[in-house]
Amino acid sequence: MDLGAAIAANPQSFENARYNEGFELSRAVRQDAQLAALQMRFNNLKERLPALAKVASEQGVSSIDSLDDAVPLLFPHTVYKSYPLSFLEQGRFDRLTKWLGSLTTVDVSKVDLSAIDTIDGWIGALEKTGLAPIHTFGTSGKLSIIPRTKVQLRVTVQINARCIRDFHGVGSGPDLLTQPMPLIAPSYRYGASSIARGMNLMADLYGKGEALFLYPDAYFSADVASLAGRLRAAEARGEAGQLELPASLIARRAEFAAREAQRGQDMDRFFDEATQRYAGRDVFLFAVWPILFEWAEEGLKRGIKNVFGPNSVLTTGGGSKGRVLPADYKHQIFEFLGFERHMEFFGMSELMANAPRCEHNCFHFPPVVIPFVLDPETGQSLPREGKQTGRLALMDLLPDSYWGGFVTGDRVTMGGFDAPCECGRTGPYLEADIQRFSDLKNGDDKINCAGAPEAHDRAVEFLLDRTS
């Protein structure tokens, strides 16, 4: 079966494809495959997802005959945090579960909530149903909860491996599923954020269990992530001192205090292990540019260069996270690391397959994602031709138990509808100048994930100060 037919029949089959073939499809083959897959998703889910059924009824959509027919069915980017914040503040996990049940075909009605008094505990209870819920970082403390399944999480990680192997041509990179490399990540080993979920599974699939984390035994807490958002919102209102802390979070004070006290030693341990235990070895490294630069800057001061093997792989994304880095920051990073092979992605927690950056600085969506550019004022789809600038919307065809269509808060310029990128790849791509409408409008237009680890740390400090 050719790739177009395979995607039409089952988009998740892309996990076993040669990734680069997705950017060799003609426009007609790609759109025919996407339309068939979109129709299948809609027909299978419209009667099983109350949220989708409601939107389809309100919009008068009973069938999909073109890609643009899906636009009225794309959820706003706030749908996965559309519950009242009081559900979290008051520990109403029964109502939160009922809310989530309207967004997934997985039966969550029988989840045992009798001993649940934290968001982390609630997420753990949901995992017994086959879900692997993903949480994001809400500016108000309302976390988006995406009802991904464990199977879907595995598909995501395997597609990422195919991308690393084939994006620059079949076999141009290592096959991490058959040629494992130790995974190194300056982050938490466990957690339900998109990064934590992905890193945890990558440690198993890419590293065969051999991995180095900054916090190898710790869990990135959704409760603290929620507190971080609430703290930021309270500070903006000048009400930080009035913020009430849940008893369940106060009870974990000793756990957070111990980690806070060990932070400096943990950083030293991570740095020393990475540069000594894995010196000269090919590794899979995941980190954002600012963290990499801090690491490289410190290493170069110590006279340490060319730490890892030349066939290592770095994956990164998220830009500079608001940090001002020197013009040669990448040169310094690669001088320290000892290799230059890296992949940078545009993605978000809501999306299962991210868009890798090409050598001409554009981000390419694989054919299992249908991108749209919407008029920012009317929400109408702009023509799928030439180059268009507006609001990005996406239809992720991979999830089969929840609706993968949503409107983002990003202002983008998209090309590739009818002409390939300068790199030669076909299909829609984003130019690198991506902005949040919230930044342009000086308002909260999108879930803001930038700087989440820093917000997490500040929330822990706040918790310790308030409960000492």
pLDDT, tens digit (0-9, with 9 covering 90-100), for 354-384 = 999 999 999 999 999 999 999 999 999 999 9
Identify how many contiguous H helices and E strands the chain contains and give both numbers.
16, 15
pLDDT band at 256 (very low <50, low <70, confident <90, very high): confident
Which structure tokens are listed for 399? 């999830």
Distances (CA, A) of 272 to 214, 266, 268, 296, 308: 11, 10, 6, 13, 13
Averaged confidence pLDDT in the chain: 89
Structure confidence at residue 437 (pLDDT): 85
Query: Which CATH number does 355-441 carry?
Result: 2.30.38
Please check the confidence at residue 468 and state whether its pLDDT lies above 50: no
Q: What is the pLDDT of residue 88?
A: 85
Q: CA-CA distance, 26 to 113, in Å (whole number)?
A: 50
SS3 184: strand
- pLDDT of 451 above 70: no
**Confidence class for position 324, pLDDT limits 50, 70, 90:** confident
pLDDT band at 186 (very low <50, low <70, confident <90, very high): confident
The pLDDT value recorded for residue 259 is 79
Residue 239, pLDDT score:
67
Beta-strand pair 134-135/145-146: antiparallel
Q: Is the pLDDT of residue 231 over 90?
A: no
For the chain, the straight-line distance linking the first and the last C-alpha, in angstroms and rounded, comes to 64
The neighbouring-strand residues paired with 16 are none
Spatial distance between the Cα atoms of 450 and 348, rounded to a whole number of angstroms: 11
CA distances from 288 to 61, 202, 321, 330, 464 (A): 41, 17, 8, 12, 28
Scored b (16 or more CB within 10 A) or e, 384-402 reads beeebebbbbbbbbbbbbb
| pLDDT tops 70 at residue 441 | no
Q: Which of 89-93, 132-136, 256-260 has the lowest mean pLDDT?
A: 256-260
In degrees rounded to 5, what are phi and psi of residue 301?
-60, -30
> 163: closest CA among 19, 286, 22?
19
What is the model's pLDDT at position 461? 57
Helix or strand or coil: residue 346? strand
Q: What percent of the chain is modeled with pLDDT above 90?
A: 65
Write down the H helix ranges in 420-466.
Answer: 437-441, 452-466
Q: Would the pLDDT of 95 be above 80? A: yes
Phi, psi of 415 (to 5 degrees): -125, -170
> Is pLDDT of 452 > 50?
no
The pLDDT of residue 113 is: 96
- What pLDDT was estimated at residue 463? 44
Q: Are strands 75-76 and 405-415 parallel, antiparallel or unpaired?
A: parallel
Query: Beta strands 183-191 and 284-286: pairing type?
Result: parallel
440 pLDDT tier (thresholds 50, 70, 90): confident
Per the model's pLDDT, the better-predicted residue between 204 and 231 turns out to be: 204
Give the tens place of pLDDT for each residue, 125-149.
Answer: 999 999 999 998 776 778 999 999 9
Question: In 3-state terms, what secondary structure has residue 400?
Answer: coil
The confidence score (pLDDT) of residue 158 equals 97
Residue 248 pLDDT grade (very low, low, confident, very high; cuts 50, 70, 90): confident
Specify the 3-state DSSP secondary structure of 383.
coil
| Dihedral sign computed on CA atoms, order 195, 197, 198, 199 | positive
pLDDT of 24-78, one tens digit each? 999 999 999 999 999 999 999 999 999 999 899 989 999 999 999 999 999 987 8
**If you search the block for the tokens 């505990």, which residue do you land on?**
121
5: part of which helix (H) or strand (E)?
helix 3-9
User: What are the residue boundaries of the structural domains of the chain, listed by start?
Assistant: 3-146, 172-348, 355-441
